Structure formats: structure tokens, C-alpha cells
Amino acid sequence: MSDDKHKARMVSKKAVMDAKIANATEERGVLILLKGNGKGKSSSAFGTMARSVGHGKKCAVIQFIKGRSETGEYKLFRDHDLIDWHVMGHGFTWETQDKQQDISAAKKAWALAETLLQDDRYDMLVFDELSYMFKYEYLDVGPVVAALSKRPKDQNVIITGRTMALELQNIADTISVVQDERHAFRQGVKAQKGIEY
């Protein structure tokens, strides 16, 4: 492509982008859903939280399912002044195999989440693996939708999980699907510190 042609293309692209930017004027918190079977949902959520913290914003994490004992992100963030980190689950659901125990952990985690959703001191809340609570019917989605809908105007919420309840998708501002194309695990690579946890 000639330099002139390239320049003309960029000028028209800039005009389109400028118009889009001029159109987006609203300032408010957003609900972000990160779903899909690929690797990268929780790490994206914590990456976005790190971005907020970098700007001095107050954040809280609730892990509805406890994975490995101590993840790198937990070790890095737990003592940060701007972050409250709550691990509420007992372990992988297929490891606990105790439905009543899981339900009571889910209810306890949700009670905390509901409190945070009424607290405008928090700029960002990350509900990691909240979506499984509906899949396994540990929680009703109705009260969750209601609490999200009446949260403080500027509060951002990120929810992760492979599957997402339709009711959450209906009220979300941003939904990203992390697609699984390949994963090292299936080629026999062991879960690694610093990559998986």
C-alpha cells in the first residue's frame, strides 16, 4: 500500500474512533463476566483488579470455590491495604463431595458478597467462581441479580466461571468468553506454580 493510501485509511479510521469515543460519555461502574472453558478468567479478573489498585482503588475478592491452598495472587495481594481477600469455599466440589457443607459455604460467601454490594467504599469486587453456585444450585440467582442491580453506581464487579447463568448475562455490561483451543495439561504438562496457581 502506498504511503498516501495508508494515511487516508488512518484518517478515516481516526474519524470513526473519535466518533465512538465522543459517544461514550457515561461514567459508572460495570458488571464484567468472564466465562468459557479456556485458561485466563481468574487471572484476567485479578489483573484488572491490580490495575484498579494501581490507581488507589479499594477492592475485595471473594473466592466461592477454594482451589489450591495458596495461590501466587493470594500471596501477593493478601496483605495489600487496598485489598480484602476472602476465601470462602472448602475445596474443589468434586473433592468435598459434601453437598450440605458446600451449600452452607456458598450461603456464607453470598452473605458477605451482599454486604460488600451495599458498601460504596469498595470500587471493585471480584467474585471468583460465583457462577458455579448456580450451576450446582447452591444459590438462587434472583437475589444475586437484585443485589447487583442496586449496588453503588460507581462500583465495578467482575464474576468468573466457566458457565454463566443467563440472568447474569442479561444484566452484564461486558462479557468475554475465554475459549479453550489448547491446554498444556492435555499434553501431559503438570499444573505449575506461577502459571496455574
Binding site for Mg ion (CB under 5 A): 41-42
Say whether residue 176 binds ligand ATP (CB under 6 A): no
Residue with Cβ nearer ligand ATP (14 or 183): 183
Write out the binding residues for ligand ATP, residues 28-47 only, by CB under 6 A. 37-43
Say whether residue 197 binds ligand ATP (CB under 6 A): yes
Report the greatest alpha carbon distance in the chain: 69
CB of 40 to ligand ATP, least distance (A): 5
Nearest to 69 by CA among 85, 54, 90: 90
SS3 content of the chain, % helix, strand, coil (to 5): 45, 15, 40
**Contact present, 184 and 46 (Cβ < 8 Å):** no
Helix axes 99-116, 141-149, angle to 10 degrees: 10
Say whether residue 18 binds ligand ATP (CB under 6 A): no
Residue with Cβ nearer ligand ATP (28 or 68): 68
Residues that bind ligand ATP (CB under 6 A): 37-43, 160, 162, 178, 180, 183, 185, 191, 196-197
